[in-house]
A and B are shown apart, each in its own frame.
Chain A
Amino acid sequence: MKIKTLNLALVASMAWGTAASAQTEIQWWHAFTGRLGELLDAQVALFNSNQSDYKVVATHKGNYSETLNAGIAAFRAGEQPHLLQVFEVGTATMMAATGAIKPVYEVMQASGLEFDPNAYIPAVTGYYTNADGQMLSFPYNSSTQVLYVNRDKLAEAGIDPDVDLSTWEAWDGVLTQLKDAGVTCPYTTSWQSWVHLESFSAYHDVPFATKENGFGGFDTELVFNGPLQVAHIDQLGKWAQDGKFIYAGRRNEAGANFRGGECALFTESSAGYAGVKAEAQFAFDIRHLPYWDSVEAAPQNTIIGGASVWIMEGKPAEEYAGVAAFLNFLSSSEVQAKWHQDTGYLPITTAAGELTKSQGFYDANPGTEIAGLQMTRNTPTENSKGLRLGSFDQVRTIIDEELEGVWSGQKTAQAALDSAVERGNQLLRRFEQANR
C-alpha cells in the first residue's frame, strides 16, 4: 500500500514536472479537412516554430456543426479548448453564451500586444463585432458570393463570352439563349439561402430581419418576405420551371455540376475558386454577384460566410496571453495574404489585401480580387453588416425546405417566404426564451 502511494506520488510529480517545463499548450478545435486542413496545420506549425513559449495544438472535430457541438459538450464537461472555430450562422449562439466565451478585444487588450481594430476590413469583421464595434470573435475564414461563368459554354451556345451578366435584368435573355441551344443546366447555385436571400437582402439594402438583422437584440423578427425578395424568388422559380435554373441541393452539391462543365453559370462562395481552378477543363471567369438594377440602393455590399474563431472562457490568464499571441500572428499581413491567396477566403486586414496586390497575385489570377471589391465597395449599412440570428442553422433548413417548394412548382414565392418567416420566427422566439 505504502509503495503504491509512493509510486503514485512519483508519477504525479513527474507529470507535473513535464507540464511545468514544457511550453504552454493552446488547444484549437476546428472543422477543416483536406487542403484547408493542411493549410491550417501549416499556419500552426509556422507559429510553433517561430517562438518557444506556446504550442498551438490544432484538432479536427468534424464538420462545422459537429465542431460546435463538440465545443458545447466539452464546455459542459469543463474540458473546453482555448479556441473553437464556429461557422458564421452559430455567431448568435456563441455571443449569447456569456460566461462560456471571452471576447477577442478583451483578450487582446489584456495581453498588451498591439491590436488596432482599424487595421481590419469592417465589412469582414463587422459580422463578428458587438454594437460598439468591438471584435467578439476572430474572423478566421470569410468568403462571399461571386458568379462563376463557363465561357466555353456561352461560346458554344453562340453567346459572346463577355456578355453583360452584371444585373439580373440581363439574365433572362441569356438563359433563354442557353436553354434554346440545348444547354441542360444554364444556371445553378450553391447555398440558396445565403446567396439568394441573406446576401441578396444586404446587396439591395433591404432588411432580412428587424433590429438591424438581429444585431440590436434577440427580440428580432424575420422580414425577408418583403416585395423585393419575393419578386427575386419568384423569378428564380419561373426559371426553375423552365429548366433554366437547375436546383442541385441545399449545400454546395451544384459545384460538381459546374466544375464538370455541365452548367454555364454558377453562384458560389469565393472560396470555391481553388476547386474550380483545379478541376475545370474549360475557360472560366469570376464576376460580381448580379443585382437588380431597378433597385436604387443596389449594389450595396454582399455579406460574408465562413467561420470565426471564438475564445472559450475558463482558462488561466497566462494561457490567454498565448491565445493573443497566436491571433496576433494570424493577423499579420504575410500570414493573411498567403491564406487569402491559397484558399480564396477574404483577407481580414487592409494591409493583407494590399500586400496581395503588390505581389501581383490579382494580375496573375484575374477574378480573385472580385470578392474583396464587392465587400468593400460601400460602407456597410444596418442591412448589410451581417446577420445575428439564433438557431440560424435551422432557420436556413426551413428556408431550404420552403424554397424547394417553389423550385418544384408546388408553392408560390410569396407563400413559401411567408411560411419560412413564420416558422423561422418561432425558432427565434425559442432562442430568445432560452437566452433570457
Chain B
Amino acid sequence: MEKRVIFKGWMLPALLLLPQIVITAIFFFYPAGQAIWQSMFVPDPFGLKTQFVGLGNFEYLLGDPYYRASFVTTAIFSSLVTVVSMGVALYLAILADRLIKGSGTYRTLLIWPYAVAPAVAGVLWMFMFNTRVGVVAWYLGLLGYDWNHVLNEAEAMGLVVVASSWGRISYNFLFFLAGLQAIPRSVIEAAAIDGAKFWTRFRTIVWPLLSPTTFFLLVVNVVYAFFETFGVIHTITAGGPQQATTILVYKVYSDGFVGQDLGSSAAQSVILLVLVGLLTVIQFKFIERRVHY
C-alpha cells in the first residue's frame, strides 16, 4: 500500500531536495570525508608534520585486544540501555494510558528527566551512588550490601546503564504514549467484549499496532546508546574500573583528546560510522519486516 507521487519534471524535486542535500553535505558528508581522510595518517597533535600510513591505523586498532574487547562492552551496554529504557517507558506508558484522573500531571512529571543533560544526570547518579558519601550507597550499606562501583565491574556497568536510561525513559515514554493513544478504542473494546483479557489484548492488538513506534524507538535508542552516552560515562566511571565501561565512543574521546592520537581517533570514528550504518541496515532489513504500518 505504498503511495507514490510522481513529479513531471526534475527541476522542482531537485529544488525541493536541495536544502536538505546542502545541509547533509556540509554537516555530514564533509566531516565524514575528513574523518576517512585523517584515518589514513599519523599526525602530530599540532599539525606540524604528518605521515601517510594507509590502513595502518586500522591494523593497529584491530590488532589491539583491548579495542576488540570494547566492541563487546559496547554491545552489552547498548543492548541493556535500549531494553531498560524502552521496557520501563512502555510499562509507564501503558499505565498512563489507562489513567483517567491526573494523567496530565503524571505525564508532565515523567517527561521532566528528559530536560536534564546527560553529563548532569551522570553527576547526579554519581553522587547518589558514591561509594563513600552517596545516599543510596549508604542505605545499601545499612542493608549489609557493600556497594563499590569503583572496583566492581558489574556494578559500574549497572550504574552507567541506569544513569543513561533514566533520562531516555521520558523520551520513549512520550512516543509510546502517543502510539498507544493512536490505537482506536473501538478495536480494543470489541476485543474486550469478545472476552479477551488485558494480556491477550496487548499481545494480539496493542503490540502489533504499536510496532512502528517500537521500531522507530529501537533505531533511535541504539544510536543514542552508541553516541550520546559519553557524558554519563565520562562523569561516572571514566571507562573504569579496568575497562569495564569503556565503550567505543569513549575510546574515540580518550585517544583523541587525552592521548592526542588523532590518527587512531579518526580511524575509530570511521569504524563507528560503518558499524552504526550496518546496524541500521540490519534493523531495516530484518526487523522492519515484522512491523505493521
Contact = CB atoms under 8 A, between A and B. Distances in A.
Contacts of B60: 430
Interface stretch (A272-280, A282-290, A404-412): A404-412
Contact of B48 (A99, A248, A401, A427): A99
B235 interface: no
Interface string B31-50: 00000000000111111110
A326 interface: no
A110 B252 CA distance: 42
Nearest to A396: B258
Given A404-B242, A433-B42, A97 B48 contact: yes
A408 B44 contact: no
A434 B242 contact: no
Interface in A30-79: 65, 68-69, 72, 75-76
Interface in A149-172: none
Interface of B is mostly: loop
Contact of A65 (B44, B150, B240, B258): B258
B134 to A, nearest CB: 11
A307 to B, nearest CB: 16
Interface residues of A, number: 42
Contacts of A405: 242
A96 B255 contact: no
B45 A72 contact: yes
B259 A394 contact: yes
A96 B49 CA distance: 11
B45 A97 contact: yes
Given A76-B46, A97-B45, A99-B48, A401 B240 contact: yes
Contact of A426 (B64, B241, B243): B64
Contact of A391 (B46, B49, B131, B261): B261
Given A97-B48, A402-B242, A407 B151 contact: yes
B263 A434 contact: yes
Contacts of A250: 238, 240
Given A434-B42, A434-B44, A394 B258 contact: yes
B186 interface: no
Given A72-B260, A250-B240, A257-B132, A404 B46 contact: no
B51 interface: yes
B66 interface: yes
Interface in B209-251: 238-243
A434 B43 contact: yes
B132 A401 contact: no
B71 interface: no
A328 interface: no
Nearest to B150: A249
B70 interface: no
B257 interface: yes
Nearest to A101: B46
Contacts of A400: 240
Nearest to A433: B42
Given A257-B132, A401-B243, A435 B44 contact: yes
Contacts of A249: 150
Contact of A93 (B45, B151, B255): B45
Contacts of B264: 430
Contacts of A407: 151
Nearest to A99: B48
Given A97-B46, A402-B242, A408-B152, A391 B51 contact: no
A256 to B, nearest CB: 7
A264 B261 CA distance: 41
B151 A394 contact: no
B132 A262 contact: yes
A390 to B, nearest CB: 9
Q: Across the A-B interface, give the 3 residue pairs with the lowest CB-CB distance, nearest first.
A: A394-B259, A100-B46, A404-B241
Given A434-B44, A436-B49, 20 more contacts: A68-B260, A69-B260, A76-B47, A93-B45, A97-B45, A97-B46, A248-B131, A248-B150, A260-B133, A394-B258, A397-B238, A397-B254, A402-B242, A404-B242, A408-B151, A423-B66, A427-B259, A430-B42, A433-B42, A434-B43
23 contacts: A65-B257, A65-B258, A72-B46, A75-B46, A75-B47, A98-B48, A100-B46, A250-B240, A256-B132, A391-B261, A393-B259, A394-B254, A394-B255, A397-B238, A397-B254, A404-B151, A408-B151, A430-B42, A433-B42, A433-B51, A434-B42, A434-B263, A435-B49
Interface of B: 42-49, 51, 60, 64, 66, 131-133, 150-152, 238-243, 254-255, 257-261, 263-264
